[in-house]
Amino acid sequence: MIEDARQIAPGTVIEADLCIVGGGAAAISLALEYIKSGRSTVLIPGGGPNQTASGIDLYRGKVSPSGSHEPLEENRIRMWGGTTTVWGGRCVPFDPIDFEKRSWVPGSGWPIGLHELKDYIAHANELSEAGVADFDARSTFPDTQSELLKGFDNDELVTWPLERWSIPTDYSKRYRAELESAANVRVLLHAHAIHLQMDPGGTRVEHVRAACSPGRDFQIHAKNTVIACGALENARLLLASRDVLPTGVGNQNDLVGRYYQSHRFGVCGHAELKNPGKDFIYDFEKDEEGVYCRRRFWLTPQAQEKHQVNNIVGFFFRTVAGTSEHRNAMVSMIMLVKTLLGGAKKGPKRLFQIIKDQRQELASHAWIVLKDGPGIFGQLSTVAYARFFQKRRLPMILPPKKANWFPLFFQAEHAPLRDSRVLLDESSVDDFGMPRLDVRVKFSEIDFRTVKTFISLFKQRLEESGVGTFHLSSADEEFLAYPERYSFNSNSHNIGTTRMSATPDAGVVDENCKVHAVENLYVAGSSVFPTSSHANPTLMIIALALRLAVHLKARS
Ligand SMILES: Cc1cc2nc3c(=O)[nH]c(=O)nc-3n(C[C@H](O)[C@H](O)[C@H](O)COP(=O)(O)OP(=O)(O)OC[C@H]3O[C@@H](n4cnc5c(N)ncnc54)[C@H](O)[C@@H]3O)c2cc1C
């Protein structure tokens, strides 16, 4: 059932076997699996079916030092469906090495291995409508060449790993009917959890205090509670529930909110190929079910160990800068439309200012478009159709091969650091009186060295294999020399604030995602990841949520 919780009278007590706090991919996949047990479930999603100004405000917080992380209300969507309402849909599993204790990556090592997650990853891929869980180009596309670029792969860099793309599936829309028709689940739209009320001994959650608006609280008394609010809010809810346990729930070892990780990502350099028209699998490929897949460059585990760096991947990307050096008409056309429309939306004054400030770049884009003439419109309409009018969306528009300008995007693991953390900002509360967050993300030398090593190995391999050349602009060189100067954006990959560990002194949850010192409280989401891999987090978030649902079904 899906209900409007604004109809619930203040002071009401609701009982259930399981209370799920959150309404994103983690919460919904957990609910879908758990309700198969027939047991009663209440899900409070922290919002309704639309994003609202008050919902955005609940996510606001502080970033220290200012500007070192994107504003906290950006990239996180407080509503039913959570961030799957806007996600891109890239599905990538972690690699076996991500679970290992690596001597050169401090804080690495999971208490579980990838083999324990295989079936759940397959199920997560299915729920995300991303096809079968085969992430190897050699078996998914056996009739094509195995390498992305013929002659490129060696012991250190390989190109068979695949990413798969979800539709992208908005979990709140896709699974609404299933939850609506299930008699044993109550989705309480518009309800927020505002407090975890512990029993006097501090070892059990007695109830979750919830509300749709300030002062109209009601309670959910459940045998077990799972918090699935995203990595930043999971830590916030635990830290802010401190009436019984003064340092917060699960925080007896001062670990909640610590080891906050994300990914280092960006574009650095571009490749120019000897023959981009031949032996080069650049575009998205479709598997037998029509799922978009793409190959990527991966630094092998041997190379990671040899160079003592984090896990990292790369792939050819579209141009991100406003520059027109790529000489591609379609890219220039998109840049022009985006810049001018973006400016127009902000009013004529702002538009005029943008044109004035960027006149040289805009003129060079316009010249490139004019030179290509009408040819560009056919090209644009084909990709626009695939991107905007198909149920399964083309993941991104790539510049055509003939431009022979292939920017290299990298995405790297962020090594866990105790001092990279989120804590409560004692000077500011939200509408419900909950302290807001103060986020202090930190990186270490290995994070910067990983990117530098990858770029340098990539350049070396591309050139020694005779496949092409790799070019770094002065801005790229500067970025590699002084990476700490560059502003950081988490891209919504918020990871590690309630890390999983075998023992309570090393983390917040155990291998079943149960908060160590609390009998009936569990955590779902990327906050439990001890390390971040290079992989976008959602597939793993869902896999772990499904595993947790199976555990809870067995336990109850
Ligand atoms: C533009 C964009 C593109 C992305 N693309 C990709 C991609 O291609 N691949 C990928 O893997 N990932 C991608 N991501 C990240 C991905 O969306 C997230 O990793 C994923 O959705 C996280 O799921 P979650 O359920 O853990 O958290 P969220 O989606 O953040 O959901 C948290 C839920 O908890 C609720 N909530 C919060 N606080 C409370 C509270 N106090 N009480 C009750 N409920 C609460 C919220 O309303 C929300 O429903 C992208 C993100 C963005 C912004």
Ligand 1 centroid to Cα of residue 493, in Å, is 9
259 phi and psi angles, rounded to 5 deg: 60, 35
CATH number for domain 2-59+77-130+169-259+492-555, candidates 1.20.1250.30, 3.50.50.60, 3.40.1080.10, 3.40.1130.10: 3.50.50.60
- 263 contacts 414 by C-beta, under 8 angstroms: yes
217-227 and 13-21: which strand pairing? Answer: parallel
19 DSSP β-pair partners: 42, 225
Domain ranges of the chain: 2-59+77-130+169-259+492-555
Higher-pLDDT residue of 327 and 269 is 269
| Alpha carbon of 277 to ligand 1 centroid (Å) | 39
CA of 526 to the centre of ligand 1 (A): 10
pLDDT score, position 344: 79
Pocket lining: 294 vs ligand 1, CB cutoff 6 Å: no
pLDDT in tens, 447-497: 999 999 999 999 999 999 999 999 999 999 999 999 999 889 999 999 999
Atom 19 (ligand 1): residue with closest C-alpha? Answer: 538
What is d(CA 205, CA 225) in angstroms, rounded to the nearest whole number? 7
Q: What is the mean pLDDT of residues 84-109?
A: 97
Q: Which residue has the higher pLDDT, 354 or 452?
A: 452
The mean pLDDT value for 64-73 works out to: 95
Q: What are 413-431's pLDDT values in tens digits?
A: 999 999 999 999 999 999 9
Residue 116 near residue 548, CB atoms below 8 Å:
no
Ligand 1 atom with least separation from CA of 539: 11
pLDDT number for residue 374: 66
Q: Is the CB of 88 under 6 A from ligand 1?
A: yes
R_g of the chain computed on alpha carbons? 24
pLDDT bucket at 330, cuts 50 / 70 / 90:
confident
Residue nearest to atom 4 of ligand 1 (CA): 87
**Which two tokens mark 289?**
């079910």
Q: Would the CB of 172 count as within 6 Å of ligand 1?
A: no
pLDDT tens digits, one per residue of 526-556 = 999 999 999 999 999 999 999 999 999 998 7
Q: What's the pTM value of the predicted model, to 2 decimals? A: 0.93
Partner residues linked to 286 by β-bridges: 292
| Cβ 39 vs Cβ 224: under 8 Å | no
Question: Which DSSP string corresponds to 169-191?
Answer: --HHHHTHHHHHH-TTEEEEET-
Asked if residues 44 and 192 have their Cβ atoms less than 8 Å apart, the reply is: yes
Please provide the size of the chain in residues. Answer: 556
Number of H helices and E strands in the chain, helices first, is 16, 21
Mean pLDDT of 173-181: 98
